[in-house]
Chains A and B, each alone.
Chain A
Amino acid sequence: MDLVQLVKEGNRVAIARLITKAENEAPEAAIAMRQLYSETGKAFLIGITGPPGSGKSTLTDKMVKELRKRGKTVGVIAVDPSSPFTGGAILGDRIRMSDLALDDGVFIRSMGTRGSLGGLSKATYDTIKILDAAGFEYILIETVGVGQSEVDIVKTADTTVVVSVPGLGDDIQAIKAGIMEIGDVFVVNKADREGAERVVIELAQMLELNANMGDWFPPILKTVAVRNEGIVEVVDKIMEHREFLTSSGELRNRRKERISNELFNLILKKVSAKISTKLSEENFWDSQLDEIIENQKNPYDVIDRVIDGILQ
């Protein structure tokens, strides 16, 4: 039976294989994604992001268990950094999720960033669609440990959970500009530690200053994920946010924006591949570079001529 059909039926070997093909940008993956697309758009996507060591994996593990208690099936995508030097990676998020391995209602996939800088990997988007088409009702996407600007998750998830912890010193300073603005739900994890209350207060103050807040005021919740404390409340708030997104029409807006981003990126990728093939066919580099270096031509005129040639 073919791979796409098996994925739709939820066959785990097939799901895993298709994700690998998407990660490796295999031609079969591009064909399969076309065939799967009509089955996507049903899952609710939850992003979990925050600095390294804030407990994202433990929180993800506990949230999956809570969703399972509520009878939902869950896909998890856990992204860890790839080495920029060797391309290798140690994907260790599963250490915190060991006892989910045997649950048939859960599918966990670890991914290396493979050169992407926004906190996700290129194949994350296809993987979401594969898990969605395979029938998982909720998909949790755990980003790499982020600093200030890895905000791809907000363009990807329906609800974004930003995790913070006490004791990182100027932690709030570090997150206020970038990921501070993208949270729909804020979690202060390791809340049994000193300074948790201060983090909550600082987060609240910063949220109040946020001008374009709209109708959803992001809640700030305290958790101790290793002891499963506060998890029910986090899942409740996510459900509330889901309800808000649906009833306000915001869900459709977010998904429109996501699709437009994705389309634009895919168009760029195809166009840049075409341009690069065309230029090397025409022996462009060898013919132009010397003249530019010797100031006989300027790069701006050369670019204009190339673009005009391509757009004809």
Chain B
Amino acid sequence: MMTERKIRVLVAKPGLDGHDRGAKIIARAFRDAGFEVIYTGLRQTPEQIVAVSIQEDVDVVAISLLSGAHGTLMPKVVKLLREKGADDKLIIGGGVIPDDDIPALKEAGVAEIFTPGTPTSVPIEFIKANVRQ
């Protein structure tokens, strides 16, 4: 029998964003791409996101942020994952993030940032190409 390797993705919304329409659309697109998507809802702390990532053993942590707090919250998730020995996960970000901020986020360990207007196929292909084997 074929053993199937499923890609598991956590769609996480840290911080104080008031809505999660974008996150839900991306969750749906990931599902349609055949991924198993764990969605935890709004206003999660980095600590909660890291705990869930570990328990669910996700391959990808996709962080959606609109509030402008990406400079603090995204690197914090990366740092906590490393501390917990779960640093083999692909971390990507999406949302309203100015181009000038992207190099620093990548420096901090976020693999890629997807800004408004990106077709959902782009992060899907990125995940397929870069996920841990």
Interface residues of A (CB under 8 A from B): 12-13, 15-17, 19-20, 23-26, 82-83, 86-92, 94-95, 98, 101-102, 107-110, 112, 114, 269, 273
Contact = CB atoms under 8 A, between A and B. Distances in A.
B48 interface: yes
Given A12-B55, A102-B51, A90 B40 contact: no
Find the residue from A20, A86, A92, A110 having the highest chain B CB count within 10 A: A110
Interface residues of B, number: 32
Contact of A86 (B34, B52, B56): B34
A91 B39 CA distance: 6
B1 interface: yes
A88 B32 contact: yes
Given A86-B31, A94-B38, A98-B40, A19 B48 contact: no
B23 to A, nearest CB: 11
B6 A86 contact: no
- Say whether chain A's binding surface is mostly helix, strand, loop, or mixed: mixed
A98 B39 CA distance: 10
B101 interface: no
A173 B39 CA distance: 33
B16 interface: no
Contacts of B35: 88
Contacts of B28: 90
Nearest to A91: B38
Contacts of A114: 4, 6
B85 to A, nearest CB: 6
B17 interface: no
Contact of B37 (A26, A89, A269): A89
A1 B6 CA distance: 26
Contacts of A110: 38, 56
A39 to B, nearest CB: 20
Interface of B: 1, 3-6, 8, 27-28, 30-41, 44, 47-48, 51-52, 54-57, 84-86
Residue among B38, B85, B86 with most chain A CB within 10 A:
B38
Contact of B55 (A83, A90, A98, A107): A107
13 contacts: A12-B55, A16-B55, A91-B36, A91-B38, A91-B39, A91-B56, A92-B38, A92-B39, A94-B39, A102-B48, A114-B4, A114-B6, A269-B1
Contacts of A13: 54, 84-86
Given A88-B35, A90-B39, A95-B40, A16 B3 contact: no
A216 to B, nearest CB: 34
Identify the interface centre among A13, A25, A91, A95: most chain B CB within 10 Å of its CB: A91
Nearest to B27: A90
Contacts of B36: 82, 88-89, 91, 112
A265 B124 CA distance: 36
Given A83-B31, A86-B34, A109 B55 contact: yes
B31 A88 contact: yes
Given A91-B37, A95-B40, A102 B47 contact: yes
Nearest to B51: A101
Contacts of A26: 3
Contacts of B40: 94-95, 98, 101
A23 B39 CA distance: 19
Contacts of A17: 57
Given A90-B37, A101-B47, 19 more contacts: A13-B54, A13-B86, A16-B54, A23-B6, A86-B32, A86-B34, A87-B34, A90-B27, A92-B39, A94-B52, A95-B40, A95-B41, A98-B40, A101-B51, A101-B52, A101-B55, A102-B47, A110-B56, A114-B4
A23 B58 CA distance: 13
Contact of A12 (B39, B41, B54): B54
A86 B33 contact: yes
B16 to A, nearest CB: 15
Contacts of A87: 4, 6, 34
A268 to B, nearest CB: 12
B100 to A, nearest CB: 33
